[in-house]
Amino acid sequence: MKAITRTILVLSLVSLLNDIASEMLLPIMPIYLKSIGFSVLYIGILEGLAEATSSLSKGYFGKISDKTSKRALFVKWGYALSAISKPMLVMFVNPIWVLFSRTLERLGKGIRTAPRDAILADESAHGDRGKVFGFHRAMDTVGAAIGPSIALLYLYFHHGEYKSLFYISFFPGIFVVLLTLRLKDKAKQVDAPKKDKIGFFSQFKYWKESTPAYKALVAGLLFFALFNSADAFLILKMKEAGMGDLRVIVIYIFYNLVFALSAFPIGIVGDKVGLKPMLLIGLVVFSVVYFGMAYTTTTIAYVVLFLLYGLYYACTDGISKAWISNVCDKKDVGVAVGVFSGLQSVCTLVASSLAGFVWYKFGSVYVFFIAGAAALLVVLYLLFSVSLSTLKKAS
C-alpha cells in the first residue's frame, strides 16, 4: 500500500462521501422525474444537457490547473457546487429549474474532475497508476453502495417520498467540503506565469499537440461513448419490466458493491498484465450486459447482468484514465484527461438524447442492442490499432 499516499487517501475519502450524497439520488432520479411528469425523452435530454455542461468545463479547468499548477482550488470549488445543487433539485418542480440545478451539479463535476485526476497521477509512479486509480474508484464506489442503501432504508419506511432524500444528501456534501480543505498543492518550481489568457475552447487545441497513442486511444473510447447512454436507462429498463422501487435500488446497490470490491484488485492486475487487455475485457463484458438487457425480464437475470456491469466498470473506468495518463506528457495530464472527459461527456449528451428518442419511437430493445454492437466494434479497433499496438506492456 506504499502507493497510497495521504493525498490519495484524502481524495478517495472525499469521493466516497460525495458518492454517498450523489448515489442515494441516482437510482431514484429517473423515478422521481417520471413522478413529476417528465417523459423518458425529456429525461434523456436533461441528462445529456447536464453532461454537456460538465464536458465543456472539464478540459478548460484541467488546462488552467496545468498552467497554474494549482489543482486543489478547483477540487474544492467543484465539490462545493455539487453539494449545494442537490437540495435545489426539489425546491421547485419547474423543468427549467430542474435543468439549472442538475446542470450546476454537473458543472461542479466538470470543475473538479481533471484537476483531481491530475493530482492522482502526480501522486503516483508510472507503474502504479492502475493501482492508484483503481483504489480511488473502489473508495468512490463504496460510497456509491452506501448512498443507495440509505435511500433503500428511507423509502422502506417512507414509500414514494423522494423529495426528502434530496435534502438528506446535503449533509454528506458538507463533510466533503470540509475534507477538501485538507488538500494542498505540492510546492513546485514553476516559471513566471504568462499573461496570455486561456480561452474556454483553447483546451481542444491539445488534440493537435497530443501523441499518436493518445489520439488513437481517445478516438476509440469516444466512439464507444457515442453509444453508451446514461445509467438512468438501465434503471428505467428494470422499471419497464415491472420491478418495484426497492428491488431496483437493491440491485443497484449490488452492482456498486461489485464495482467497489473489484476496482482495486483489477487495477493491480492491470499494472501487471497491461491496461489494454483489462480495458478490452471490460468492453466485451459491457457488450454481453447490453445484449442481455435488451431481452431479459427476470429478476435473477438482472442480478447477473448488474454483477457483470460492475465488473465492466472496474475494468474500464479507472483503467482508461490510468492508460491516458501514461500516453501523454506528465505536464499535460490535467488537460489530457480533461479533454477526454469533456469530449466523452459531449458524446454522452448525444448518446443519452438518442437513446431517449430511440426508446420513445422504437422501444428499449434497440437502445441496448445498438450499444452492445458498438462496444464490439471498439474492441476490434483498439485490438488492431497500429498506434496502440506499439505501446509497452504497462500501457
Residue 30 belongs to domain with CATH number: 1.20.1250.20
pLDDT (tens digit, 9 = 90+) per residue, 288-319?
999 999 888 889 999 999 999 999 998 998 78
What is the pLDDT averaged over residues 346-359? 85
pTM over 0.75: no
Asked whether residue 147 is domain-assigned, the answer is yes
* Res 6: pLDDT: 85
Asked whether residue 2 is domain-assigned, the answer is no
Q: Among residues 335, 224, 342, which one has the least CA distance to residue 279?
A: 224
Q: How far is CA 242 from CA 27, 245, 258, 290, in A?
A: 15, 10, 24, 19
Cell 497521477 locates to 121
Which carries the bigger pLDDT value, residue 159 or residue 182? Answer: 182
Asked whether residue 193 is domain-assigned, the answer is no
Domain that holds residue 279: 7-182+207-389
Asked whether residue 195 is domain-assigned, the answer is no
Residue 185 region by backbone torsions, left for phi larger than 0, else alpha for psi between -120 and 50, else beta: beta
Asked whether residue 84 is domain-assigned, the answer is yes
Whether the pLDDT of residue 389 is over 60: the answer is: no
Domain count, the chain: 1
**Cα–Cα distance measured from residue 73 to residue 347, given in angstroms and rounded to the nearest whole number:** 28
Question: What length is written for the chain?
Answer: 395
Q: Among residues 206, 150, 156, which one has the least CA distance to residue 329?
A: 206
* Res 41: pLDDT: 75
pLDDT (tens digit, 9 = 90+) per residue, 10-65?
999 999 999 898 888 877 787 788 777 777 777 777 776 776 777 778 777 887 88
Q: Confidence class of residue 189 from pLDDT cuts 50, 70 and 90?
A: very low
Q: Which residues of 40-75 are buried (b: 16+ CB within 10 A; e: fewer)?
A: bbbbbbbbbbbbbbbbbbbbbbbbbbbbbbebbbbb
Cell 423515478 locates to 31
User: Which amino acid, 206?
Assistant: Y
Asked whether residue 105 is domain-assigned, the answer is yes
**Cα–Cα distance measured from residue 84 to residue 174, given in angstroms and rounded to the nearest whole number:** 9
pLDDT (tens digit, 9 = 90+) per residue, 131-155?
888 888 788 878 878 888 888 888 8
Q: In angstroms, what is the C-alpha Rg of the chain?
A: 20
What is the pLDDT averaged over residues 339-351? 80
Asked whether residue 196 is domain-assigned, the answer is no
4-8, 194-198, 255-259, 325-329 — which is least confidently predicted?
A: 194-198
What is the chain's mean pLDDT, rounded? 83
What is the pLDDT averaged over residues 100-109? 86
Asked whether residue 394 is domain-assigned, the answer is no
Q: Greatest CA separation found in the chain?
A: 62
